[in-house]
Structure 1
Amino acid sequence: MRVYGVVGWKNAGKTGLMERLVTEITGRGFTVSTVKHAHHAFDVDQPGKDSHRHRVAGAHEVLLASANRFALMHEVRDADEPSLADLLTRLSPVDLVLVEGYKRDAHPKIEAHRGETGNALIAPGDPTIRAVASDVALDLDRPVFDLNDTGAIADFILAEVAL
């Protein structure tokens, strides 16, 4: 599977860019899956629900299924956080996996940047960041796209992964 990342600091526009890219790229006929890294404790389950009760009771995995979707919850407990490479092996084959976060991993990435946040760019010190999508003009040694020019960003990513 081809993998491409979207990274950036908090409030840089990563999730909005991811959402627009999924819409744009699937609209072109490609299959896309996503991986989102969360830096904090999160729970997709709700206390009091049967699946939550199963997990709290000690289940290693809980698969919640309906006619519309299924979700597999795997408790890491005392083990190390799984690597991106390990997580990618759990996905069904698709044309492209877009990854939000995992900025320290070696896959190619585009950095989302908003000038109003005041955060420094990650790109200058990271050769895996192949381009930047920003709402302000930047002078860099790699392509810079308007953060809202989803079509051009999608063109760039698809060319990068040879799709």
Structure 2
Amino acid sequence: MKLYGVTGWKNAGKTGLMERLVTEITGRGISVSTVKHAHHSFDVDHPGKDSHRHRQAGANEVVLASRNRVAIMQELRDAPEPTLEDLLARMRPVDLVLIEGYKRDRHPKVEAFRAETGNDLIAPGDPTIRAIASDTPMSVDRPVFDLNDTVSIADFILREVGL
């Protein structure tokens, strides 16, 4: 599996870019999966539902399966957060895994950047950032794409990974 990331600070446009990239790349007949890192607690089921009740009762892992999808919920309890490598090892093979977040991991990335957030670029101190997708023109030592130019960003990523 080929890996490529989208990184950036909060509200930089990462999720919108990821969504557009998945649509664009899968539209070209390339299989894509995604991994997203969350810095906050999250839940994928709802109080009162059977799967939630199983977790609340103490189950370490709950598998929810139907004809359309499978969800595997694992309660970490006191276990450490799995690494990106651990998560990738659990995934079914696809042509490309797009990774949102995981700034400190060593896979190649595009940095999403919006000037209005007031954050500095991450790229100058991070050689794993191979390009920037920005809402404002800039002069830096790597390619800069318009944040909304999904086709060009997808072309760049696919060239980078050899797809």
Give the TM-score category using the shorter length: over 0.9
1:89 alignment partner, SS class: helix
Compute the displacement of 1:29 (Å): 0.5
Give, as a single letter, the amino acid of the residue that structure 1 aligns with 2:95.
Answer: D
Q: Name the residue aligned to 2:8.
A: 8
What residue is the counterpart of 1:113 in the other structure? 113
The reply on whether 1:24 has 2:24 as its aligned counterpart is yes
Task: State the shift of 1:109 in Å.
Answer: 0.3
**Residue 92 of structure 2: aligned partner:** 92
User: What residue in structure 2 maps to residue 155 of structure 1?
Assistant: 155
Amino acid at match of 1:121: L
Aligned position for 2:51: 51
What are the superposed Cα offsets for residues 87-129 of structure 1, whole Å, 9 maximum, x if unpaired?
0011100000000000000000000000111110000000000
Q: Secondary structure at the match of 1:58?
A: coil
Q: CA deviation at 1:47?
A: 1.1
Count of residues in Structure 1 that have an aligned counterpart in Structure 2: 163
Deviation string 1:14-52 (CA, Å, 9 cap, x unpaired) is 000000000000000000000010000111111111101
Give structure 1 stretches of 5+ with no counterpart. Answer: none
Instruction: After TM superposition, give the deviation of residue 140 of structure 1 in Å.
Output: 0.5
Letter in 2 for 1:113: F
Identical pairs, percent: 77
User: What TM-score comes out, normalization by structure 1 length?
Assistant: 0.99
Looking at structure 2, the residues matched to 50 and 114 of structure 1 have their Cα atoms a distance apart, in angstroms, of 41
TM-score (normalizing by structure 2): 0.99
Segments ≥4 residues shifted beyond 2 Å: none
CA RMSD of aligned residues (A): 0.6
For residue 145 of structure 2, what is the aligned residue in structure 1?
145
Please list every run of 5 or more consecutive structure 2 residues that lacks an aligned counterpart in the other structure.
none
SS in 2 for 1:80: coil
2:38 matched to 1:38? yes
SS in 1 for 2:22: helix
